[in-house]
Structure 1
């Protein structure tokens, strides 16, 4: 989905780490200038669970 210089993508991402698995919905938002990504914002459906997965 795009609106001017902003693009949004709804996605599912997953990973494995130290015997644990994670699969989660997310939304990534990008600003495009001159054909390049100049800014990005990454949102997950459950930030505390993602932080715990990465050990933060």
Structure 2
């Protein structure tokens, strides 16, 4: 989806780390300026689970 200088994309990502795996849905929002990505916001379906996976 796009509106003015913002683009939103629904995503599903998977990753592996130290033998553990994680898969999750999310939304990425990007602000475009001058034809390039200027800012990015990443939203995960379960942020606490993602934080735990990455050790934060």
How high is the TM-score relative to the length of structure 2?
0.97
Aligned pairs, number: 56
Q: Which 4+ runs in 1 deviate beyond 2 A?
A: none
Gaps of 5+ in 1: none
Gaps of 5+ in 2: none
Give 1:21's aligned residue.
Answer: 21
How high is the TM-score relative to the length of structure 1?
0.97
Q: d(CA) in 2 for partners of 1:30 and 1:52?
A: 25
